[in-house]
């Protein structure tokens, strides 16, 4: 298994598509320069304005399956008909820079990560309501009706898994910065967990 640096924190952020994860994470990055977000690989087609290597590595189905068979993926899933996964290289690059690693991934991938790395902190970002989620998804205007309906169905399934997360944060009232600050506080407090402070404690005990 890939070694996760003992200094860095591994943070998983999930939440239904259209719930504002992307915007919240962008704000979070501005607040916490010690964070690095992994760029996932996907077989979905780029949306207008998305750039290869920035939002995602947009790759073919065959290329994705090759990465799986060559064990180059940390976790992956299929979501609304496409593969999405975290390339090991991305995670290693960010941790290599001594940063906390953020994975913005859906529920299935989050469960795989929590199983491999029980110390990872998992956060579910929820919209204030399903009605609000639907209007945000439609307002985005980037998906067809069929895709929107399939994303809404998936959103309902994902929200049911919220109790399995360490934290739930609601992205309501358009207060993106407030929401990012709540997540920042969660990440900061992780650094003081007793499990992370073993060396500090041992230092006192051995004296």
| Cβ-proximal residue to ligand 5GP, closest one | 109
Nearer to ligand 5GP, 26 or 198 (CB): 26
Find all residues with CB under 8 Å of 73, minimum gap 6, and list them: 41, 67, 85, 86, 87, 88
CB of residue 196 to ligand 5GP, shortest distance in Å: 25
CB of residue 74 to ligand 5GP, shortest distance in Å: 8
Question: Measured in whole angstroms, how far is the alpha carbon of residue 194 from the centre of its chain?
Answer: 24
Nearer to ligand 5GP, 132 or 196 (CB): 132
**Cβ contact 156:18 at 8 Å:** no
The binding site for ligand 5GP (CB under 6 A) comprises 17, 40, 44, 75-77, 79, 84-86, 104-106, 108-109
Tokens of 133: 């989620």
In the block, residue with structure tokens 């087609």: 45
Nearer to ligand 5GP, 5 or 77 (CB): 77
Nearer to ligand 5GP, 10 or 105 (CB): 105
Distance CA 4, CA 17 (A): 27
CB of residue 17 to ligand 5GP, shortest distance in Å: 4
Q: Is 103 exposed, middle or buried (0-12, 13-18, 19+ CB in 10 A)?
A: buried
């Amino acid at each position: 298994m890939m070694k996760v640096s003992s200094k860095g924190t591994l943070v998983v952020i999930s939440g239904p598509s259209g719930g504002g994860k992307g915007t919240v994470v962008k704000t979070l990055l501005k607040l916490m320069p010690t964070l690095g977000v992994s760029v996932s690989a996907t077989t979905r087609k780029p949306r207008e304005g998305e750039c290869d290597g920035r939002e995602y590595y947009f790759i073919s189905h065959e290329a994705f399956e090759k990465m799986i068979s060559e064990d180059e993926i940390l976790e992956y899933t299929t979501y609304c008909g496409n593969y999405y996964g975290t390339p090991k290289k991305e995670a290693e690059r960010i941790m290599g820079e001594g940063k906390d690693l953020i994975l913005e991934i859906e529920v299935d991938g989050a469960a795989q990560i929590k199983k491999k790395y029980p110390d990872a902190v998992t956060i579910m970002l929820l919209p204030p309501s399903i009605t609000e989620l639907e209007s945000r998804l439609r307002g985005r205007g980037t998906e067809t009706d069929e895709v929107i309906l399939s994303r809404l169905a998936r959103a309902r399934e994902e929200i049911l898994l919220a109790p399995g997360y360490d934290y739930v944060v609601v992205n309501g009232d358009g207060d993106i910065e407030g929401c990012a600050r709540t997540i920042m506080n969660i990440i900061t407090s992780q650094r003081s967990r007793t499990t992370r402070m073993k060396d500090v404690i041992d230092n006192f005990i051995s004296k």
